[in-house]
Amino acid sequence: MSKNQVLVTGGTGYIGSHTVVELQNQGYEVIIVDDLSNSEIEVVDRIEKITGKRPFFEELDLVNESGVEALFKKYPNIGSVIHFAAFKAVGESVKEPLKYYQNNICSLINLLNSMKKYKVENMVFSSSCTVYGQPEDLPVTESAKVQPAESPYGNTKQICEEILRDTVKAFPEIKAIALRYFNPVGAHSSALIGELPKGVPQNLVPFITQTAIGLRDQLSVFGDNYNTPDGSAIRDYIHVVDLAKAHIIAAERLLENKNEEGYEFFNLGTGTGSSVLEVINAFEKVNDIPVNYKIVDRREGDVEQIWADTTIANEILGWKAESGIDEMMESAWKWEQAIRKGNA
């Protein structure tokens, strides 16, 4: 029997759930594993509502080594693993580094050990543009230097990439692709799945949508004195559905043995930078709703500007982001409204 199932760790989370939808739309059978530490079980129902197909779901903390092994034993037809599960709050990671190192690193090691044992050869890993820090040259290419991490969270991504590189070298039957995401935003067009931050959002777009809907009084814009055209910081925002699609291409590249290097990494962005003020303006314009904001001091640890050179992803993966900032802001707003109306 061919190994045609995809194990999606963190599959009820933000990026994972959008990827499960795209995988199922393309006919893949999906097993989600998630401990629900940062997501809700209802997401499985919503994925079924969108795709007409219910993924398998296993509630499990991937730090539990014997649990991970039992998972691979239970599903002998896993052909590839897309590994999203991780803690991702930069500020929390500074206060609780061990929590982050234990969760993000032990989960990966447990998965790789089981993959070795059960002959599952392909892994797509969620990495981040945070590995570049503030690059010297923009747009940033994959050959830019990885900089000392600004936070334990960022460091877990660097360490995980090193673990993958060493593992692939020692066990060439295992192949891996790390995808370095820039700033994922937006939601599925159905408004049935999207980003569900717990507590006060730390990221820009959920803070904009929560301010627009009246849940927050005011958005703070962290700095208008950067060396950028309007003084606010620049990022490469990418629609989560575009990002999701890249995972399927990466998994297929591994399944088809196209990555001769064994270990590869790609930037996933649009290739265009937008400033904080441009993002706010786009949101206001496309949704015809004002956002109450004020300029405050810079946020500690923020880089001034970063956007991706996506040439390698475009040429080697044959992938290109399709949505622009307007579609990102429109879908983010539709999702925010759906949550507050209780439709999501």
Name the site residues for ligand NAD (rule: CB under 6 A): 10, 12-16, 34-39, 61-63, 84-88, 103, 107, 126, 128, 181, 184
Tell me, yes or no, if 101 is annotated catalytic: no
- Which listed option, ligand NAD, ligand WQD, none, makes contact with residue 14 (CB within 5 to 8 Å by class)? ligand NAD
Q: Which two tokens stand for residue 71?
A: 């998972």
- Tell me: does residue 203 bind ligand WQD (CB under 6 A): yes
- Which listed option, ligand NAD, ligand WQD, none, makes contact with residue 152 (CB within 5 to 8 Å by class)? none
Q: Which two tokens stand for residue 182?
A: 């820039």
**CB-based contact 104:149 (threshold 8 Å):** no
Tell me which of 111, 233, 244, 291 binds ligand WQD, using CB under 6 A.
Answer: 233
Of the listed 14, 153, 237, 263, which one is catalytic? 153
CB of 119 to ligand NAD, least distance (A): 22
- Tell me: does residue 107 bind ligand WQD (CB under 6 A): no
Q: 14 CB contacts (<8 Å, ≥6 apart)?
A: 39, 184, 194, 195, 196, 240
- Tell me: does residue 215 bind ligand WQD (CB under 6 A): no
CB of 257 to ligand NAD, least distance (A): 25
Return d(Cα 237, Cα 248) in angstroms, integer.
20
Q: Which of residues 168-187 bind ligand WQD (CB under 6 A)?
A: 183
Tell me which of 204, 250, 332, 339 binds ligand WQD, using CB under 6 A.
Answer: 204
- Tell me: does residue 64 bind ligand WQD (CB under 6 A): no
Exposed/middle/buried for residue 62 (C-beta within 10 Å: 0-12, 13-18, 19+):
buried
Return d(Cα 338, Cα 40) in angstroms, integer.
16
Q: 34 CB contacts (<8 Å, ≥6 apart)?
A: 9, 10, 11, 12, 13, 16, 57, 58, 59, 60, 85
- Tell me: does residue 88 bind ligand WQD (CB under 6 A): yes
Q: Which of residues 234-263 bind ligand WQD (CB under 6 A)?
A: 235
**CB-based contact 207:40 (threshold 8 Å):** no
CB of 309 to ligand NAD, least distance (A): 17
Helices (H), the chain: 14-25, 42-51, 65-74, 90-95, 97-117, 152-170, 204-212, 240-255, 276-287, 311-312, 325-340
Residue with tokens 């599960």: 85
By CB under 6 A, name the binding residues for ligand WQD: 88, 90, 128, 130, 183, 202-204, 207, 219-222, 233, 235, 276, 299, 302
**Which residue numbers are catalytic?**
153
